[in-house]
Amino acid sequence: MIPIKDGPVSIGEFDNSVDIGNVYAGGASMFDATSQTYTIRSTGNGISDDFDGYHFLWKAIQGDFILRADIDPHASNSIEDASFGWAVRNTISDDSAMISAMVNADGSASLKMRNERGGGLRVVESNNNMPDVIQLERINGVFKMKTARFGEAFVETEPVNVPLRNEIKAGLFVSSGEITFRNVRIVKPFPDNEQRYQRYLGSRMEIIDVHTGHRKVLFESEHSVQAPNWTLDGEKLIYNSNGYLYNYELETGQITYLNTGFATNNNNDHVISFDGELLAISHHVPEDNNQSTIFILPIEGSDYPKQVTASGKGHAFLHGISPDNQTVIFTGWRNGKYDIYAADVNTMEETQLTNTPYLDDGSEYSPDGEFIWFNSNRTGTMEIWRMRPDGSEQTQITFDENFHDWFPHVSPDGKWVLFLSYGLDVDSGDHPFYKQVTLRMMPAEGGEPKIVAYLYGGQGTINVPSWSPDSRYVAFVSNSGRFY
C-alpha cells in the first residue's frame, strides 16, 4: 500500500490528494498497485450547506467524463453519518461550487450540488438504496448519477445542470471512516459530434474475475486494441490492433507481433481452436474487393495462412471453430443479408445454418460441440440463442427486453455463458464502439443473467472467446480518450 499525503502526487488514476475543509486528524489515501484498489481515510464533517469536510483524491479533467467505482464492503469501515463517493469541484476551497454523487453509511444515495462558491446546497435523492456501484458523468454539460447493487442494472437520477468550469477537479472522497474502492475508472467518452469509425479512442486491456467482479487493467494504449483471445496454456492473450495481431505475455507484460504473413488487414474476428493448436483469422483481401475472408494458421504464426472460405461470395466474419477443427462458423453476407454459415476448412463448402430476414451473428460452438450459440434480433431485441450444429432446434435463451445481447461465449468448463449487453439507446442490429455497456453472465443451462462488469466499450470489447482456461477469468477491452 502506498500512502498519499496532502500535496502533488501522481499515482493510479489520480494527480493529487488533499483534505477539503476541516478534517480533524488529517486524512490520507492509499493505493494498492497489486489489486488496483484505493483506500481513503478521513475524519471530516461531510457536505453541508456552507462548506465541505472530507479527504479528496482527485484528477484534473476537461470537458465530458464518466467516473465509476465499486465500494468494496469487505475492506471498508465507515462510521455513522459518513458519506463517500465521487466529487467534482471547481477548486479545493471548502465552499467551492461542486457536485457529488454519494452513498451514506445508512445505505441511502444522493446527488448533492452547489452552483456557486458559498451558495446553498441542492439535493437529489436516489431511490436506489444500498448501492455498491456508483457513477457520476458529465455529458454535454449535464450531470447524472447512476448507482447499482452489484450485478443489477443502473438506477439513474434525474439529469441536472451545474455551471462548473470546463476543467474541474474530479475524484473520490470519504468524509469519515475508511473506505476502499475497486474497479475505479475515469473515462473520457467519445464526442457526440464526431463520427465513429473515423477516429478511435484509446484502449484498456482488462481481466475480470467473473465470480467476484474484481477487475485489473493489464495495459493501456492510445491505439484501438480489440478482442482478446486467451491461449489454452493460460500464458498469453492474442489481440488485434490496426490490422495486425499481437501476443501479450501475462507474466511479463511483454507484447510481441504475431506473424500472419500476407494477412495484415485483420479485423477483430479471430478465434483459437479448442485444442489450442490453431488460430483462425478474418483478413480483408485487397484482391477480393477487401472482403473479409477466413484463414487458419498455427497458433505460433505463419508466413502462409491457409484460406478456408471461398473468394467472391461476400464478407465472412469468423466467430467459431468446431472442436474437431474441421469446420469454421461465421456471419456471412450472402443474398443481400447476413446469416450464419458453416464452412469445411478443406473444401470451403458452405452450409447455411440460419435463414431469417433479421440479423443472426456471433456464432460459437460449445466446448462439447453439441450446440452453437449465437445472437439474433428476430424478436425485436437482440437476444442470445442456441442451435444444433446442423442449424436445427434454434432456441431463444435470453428474454430481457431492456438489453440488446451480443457475442455469447461459453466457458471452457461448459457451465457459464458470458455476453456483451447494450442498452436500448442502440439499435438492435448495431454493436458500435464507445457506449456504456455491461458484461452479463448466466448458467449455460439457463437462469437469470447477472451483470459482472459495467464499462465503456462495445465493438472490440469481447467480439471473440476470451475465457481463461480455468473458467474463472475473462479478458476484455474498455475504452477512454485523453484527459487533456
Q: Give a yes or no: residue 91 inside a domain.
A: yes
Asked whether residue 359 is assigned to any structural domain, the reply reads yes
Q: How confident is the model at residue 3 (pLDDT cuts 50, 70, 90)?
A: very low
Pairing of strands 278-285, 215-221: unpaired
pTM: 0.95
212 with 338, same domain: the answer is: yes
Indicate if the pLDDT at residue 8 is higher than 70: no
Q: Indicate whether 314 and 409 sit together in one domain.
A: yes
Q: Are residues 141 and 243 in the same domain?
A: no
* 288 occurs within a structural domain: yes
Residue 193 belongs to some domain of the structure = no
Q: Are residues 163 and 277 in the same domain?
A: no
Domain count across the chain: 2
Weakest mean pLDDT among 72-76, 248-252, 355-359, 479-483: 72-76
pLDDT, mean of residues 7-13: 64
Which residues sit opposite 155 in a β-bridge? 147
pLDDT digits (tens, 9 = 90+) for 256-290: 999 999 999 999 999 999 999 999 999 999 999 99
Tell whether 340 is covered by a domain: yes
Phi, psi of 286 (to 5 degrees): -60, -35
Residue 6 has pLDDT above 60, yes or no: no
pLDDT of 4 > 50? The answer is no
C-alpha cell at 310: 471461398
| CATH, residue 247 | 2.120.10.30
* Residue 57's CATH number: 2.60.120.200
- Structural domain range at position 270: 202-480
**37 has pLDDT over 60:** yes
Give the end of a domain, one of 187, 210, 238. Answer: 187
Let me know whether 134 and 99 are in one domain. Answer: yes
Q: Averaged over 16-32, what is the pLDDT? A: 92
Residue 286 DSSP SS3: helix
- Residue 118 pLDDT level (bands cut at 50, 70, 90): confident
Q: For the chain, give the mean pLDDT.
A: 95
Contact by Cβ (8 Å): 388, 379: no
User: What does the block give as the cell for 62?
Assistant: 476537461
304 & 178 share domain: no
Domain boundary, last residue among 187, 220, 244: 187
Concatenating the DSSP letter of every residue in 401-466 gives TT-EEEEEEE-TTSSEEEEEEE-TTS-TT---SSEEEEEEEEETT----EEEEEEEE-TTTSSS--
How confident is the model over 412-425, as a mean pLDDT?
A: 98
Same-domain status, 211 and 182: no
Closest CA to 344 of 365, 366, 321, 360: 321
CA distance 222 to 200: 9
Position 357 in a domain = yes
Q: Of 187, 221, 252, which residue is a domain's last?
A: 187
Report how far residue 438's alpha carbon sits from residue 148's, in angstroms, rounded to the nearest whole number. 12
Give the tens place of pLDDT for each residue, 302-332: 999 999 999 999 999 999 999 999 999 999 9
Is the same domain home to 334 and 433? yes
Flag whether pLDDT at 5 surpasses 50.
no
Residue 192 is assigned to a structural domain of this protein: no
Q: What is the pLDDT of residue 192?
A: 81
Distances from the Cα of 164 to the Cα of 21, 88, 161, 222, angstroms: 19, 9, 9, 28
Asked if 153 and 85 sit in the same domain, the reply is: yes
If asked whether residues 340 and 458 sit together in one domain, one would say yes
pLDDT tens for residues 427-456? 999 999 999 999 999 999 999 999 999 999
Do the beta carbons of residue 307 and residue 316 sit within 8 Å?
A: no
For residues 149 and 224, membership in a common domain is answered with no
387: which 3 cell numbers?
Answer: 442451435
pLDDT score, position 480: 97
Q: 176 and 32 in one domain? A: yes
Residues 42 and 29: beta-carbon distance below 8 Å: no
82 assigned to some structural domain? yes
